Homo-oligomer: A and B are copies of this chain.
Amino acid sequence: MSKGITKRAENYSQWYNDIVIKADLAENSGVRGCMVIKPYGFAIWEKMKAQLDIMFKETGHENAYFPLFIPKSYFAKEASHVDGFAKECAVVTHYRLKTTENGDIIVDESSKLEEELIVRPTSETIIWSTYKKWIQSYRDLPILINQWANVVRWEMRTRLFLRTTEFLWQEGHTAHETSPEAIAETNQMLDVYADFAEQWMAMPVIKGSKTESERFAGALDTLSIEAMMQDGKALQSGTSHFLGQNFAKAFDVKFTSKEGKEEFVWASSWGVSTRLMGALVMAHSDDKGLVLPPKLAPIQVVIVPIYKSEEQLKTISKKVDEITQKLKDKGISFKFDDRTTYRPGHKFAEYELKGVPVRLAVGMRDIENGTIELARRDTLEKNIYDIKGIENVIEDLMDEIQQSIFRKALKFREENTHKADTYEEFKDIIKNKSGFVYAHWDGTPETEQKIQQETKATVRNIPFDSPEEEGVCMVTGKSSKKRVLFAKSY
C-alpha cells in the first residue's frame, strides 16, 4: 500500500518521521519550525492533557492563564534566565502593517514598540511579576498554579514533536513559605510525571537530578525523567525545577511570615510538552506503525465488517450494534468502519498504522458460527472468540495490552542498560552497543564536557535509585560515591 513506512532497523530517523506523518499525527507547516498537529495526533494529546490535568488538580493545583508576551526588561531581571532563553526567542517589535501605494504589505515603521515583547519561551518572569501583587502574607501561600499554553523557542534544527519552534505544554509555577515545602513540591511533581509516563504512556522512566550544567536557567536544582527510545537514546520527558528564591529576589516577592518577619518566597516550576507525543511514538511503535497504549488511544477498538453485498453488511451491522452497545456501557471507545470505499485489507493496514489496540473483524461465517476475529496491535496475534462475551475479553485486554506494552519497553531498556568501569569500556559501549550506561563520574563540569566531546554521550541524570557505592571516575580516577546515567540523547 502507498502508506508503507521505512523499516526501523534501516533508518530509525526516517521511520519515526514516516509514522508521525502517515499515522496522521502531525506535519510541518509553511512556518519554519512550526508544526500542524492533525486531529488524530491532537486527540492523543487531548487524552494526555485530560489525565495530567486530573493529576494536577488531585495534588491541589488550579489552572490560570498569563500573557503570551513578556516585556524584554522582565528577562533582564534574572541573570542566568536571560542567558538561557534570550538566544532563541521570537521578538515582537511592531504592531501594524500597512499597504504601500503599489499594493505591497509592509511593516508600518511608525508602529515600532518602545519596548520589544518576547513571545514566551517559558513564563517564570511574567508569572513572578504577577505573584508580586498576589503575595503579602503567609496566608497567601502556597500558590499552586498550572498553565496550559503554547511557547516559542527559536530552534535551528527542528523535528516534529521532539523539537519545534512553537510547542504546546503545561507549566506549573508554585510559591511557598519555606525551602523544604518548595523542594517537596518539586519532588511531588516529578513523581506525578513518572506515574503518568509509566501508567498512562506505558513508558518506563528513570528519575533523577540533572547535573549543574544541564539545569534550567534560574534553577537551583532540576529533576528529570528520562526514557529510553528504541534506538537506545534517552529522551528527557519531563522536568521539575527547584528555583530557590531566585525569581522572588529578581521580582522582589516577599511575604510576612507567621513570626512577622519579611522573607523572600520559595519557588518551583515544572513542565511537560508535546515532546511526549514523540516519546510515545518512539517508545512503542514498530514497522507497521504506531502502537498505542489503550489508556491514550482515541479509538480503542475498531470493527471491520467483511461482506460481499449490502444485505450482508446490514446483517453484520446489526450484530455489531449489539457489541458496540456493550463496549459503550463499559466506557471503551470504538469505531465501526463501514466505509464502502475501502477494502478490508486497506482498513486493517490503516488501523495498524494508527496503533488502534484491538481490531475486530466480522464476516457472514462469523455471524453463523457466533464467532469473531480479534487482532491485538501490540503482539499482532489473531484469535477467534465467541461473540457472546467478547466485551469482557476486550475489557480484560485493555489492561493486559497496557501492561504488556510497558513490560516490553522495560525489558528493552534492561537489555540495553550497561555498566562501565573504565573509560575504554564506556566508549566501546556507546560506540558499538548504544543504550544507557551507568558509570562513575567525578562530578565536575570539565569531565562531563570532555566525555560529551569525545563520545557524544552526556549525563542524563543522577538517578535517585542509583545505589551508594565507592568508586572512581572512569576518566579522572577521582573518587565518586554513585554511578550516574549516561546516554546519547534527543
Which A residues form the contact surface with B (CB < 8 A)? 27, 29-31, 34-39, 42-43, 46, 62-76, 82-83, 86-99, 105, 107, 111, 116-119, 126, 129-130, 133, 139, 145, 149-150, 152, 154, 166, 168, 341
**Contact of B105 with A76 in the complex, beta carbons under 8 Å:** yes
**Chain B residues, Cβ within 8 Å of A99:** 82-83, 86
**Contact of B88 with A91 in the complex, beta carbons under 8 Å:** no
> Known: A31-B71, A43-B63, A129-B30. Is A96-B87 also a contact (CB below 8 A)?
yes
Q: How far is the CB of A99 from chain B (nearest CB, A)?
A: 7
Q: List 18 A-B contacts (CB under 8 A).
A: A27-B130, A30-B74, A34-B67, A35-B67, A36-B66, A36-B130, A39-B62, A39-B145, A68-B152, A72-B97, A83-B99, A87-B98, A89-B97, A90-B94, A91-B94, A91-B111, A97-B118, A150-B150
**Contact of B92 with A87 in the complex, beta carbons under 8 Å:** no
Q: List 6 additional A-B contacts (Cβ < 8 Å) besides A30-B74, A90-B92.
A: A87-B97, A91-B97, A91-B111, A92-B92, A97-B118, A119-B119
For A90, the closest partner residue in chain B by CB is B92
In terms of DSSP, what is the predominant structure of the interface of chain A?
mixed
Contact of A93 among B34, B74, B94, B149 (CB under 8 A): B94
Q: For the complex, give the distance between the alpha carbons of A52 and B152 in Å.
A: 28
Q: For the complex, give the distance between the alpha carbons of A8 and B90 in Å.
A: 43
**Contact of B67 with A166 in the complex, beta carbons under 8 Å:** yes
**Chain B residues, Cβ within 8 Å of A76:** 105
**Chain B residues, Cβ within 8 Å of A66:** 29, 36
Q: How far is the CB of A342 from chain B (nearest CB, A)?
A: 10
For A153, the closest partner residue in chain B by CB is B95
Q: For the complex, give the distance between the alpha carbons of A34 and B62 in Å.
A: 20
**Contact of A64 with B38 in the complex, beta carbons under 8 Å:** yes
**Chain B residues, Cβ within 8 Å of A130:** 27, 29-30, 36
**Contact of B68 with A42 in the complex, beta carbons under 8 Å:** no
For A66, the closest partner residue in chain B by CB is B36
**Contact of A29 with B67 in the complex, beta carbons under 8 Å:** yes
Contact of A105 among B86, B90, B154 (CB under 8 A): B86
**Chain B residues, Cβ within 8 Å of A116:** 107
**Contact of A82 with B105 in the complex, beta carbons under 8 Å:** yes
**Contact of B90 with A75 in the complex, beta carbons under 8 Å:** no
> Known: A29-B126, A30-B129, A130-B29. Is A64-B42 also a contact (CB below 8 A)?
yes
Q: How far is the CB of A52 from chain B (nearest CB, A)?
A: 14
**Contact of B82 with A89 in the complex, beta carbons under 8 Å:** no
Contact of A67 among B31, B70, B117, B118 (CB under 8 A): B31
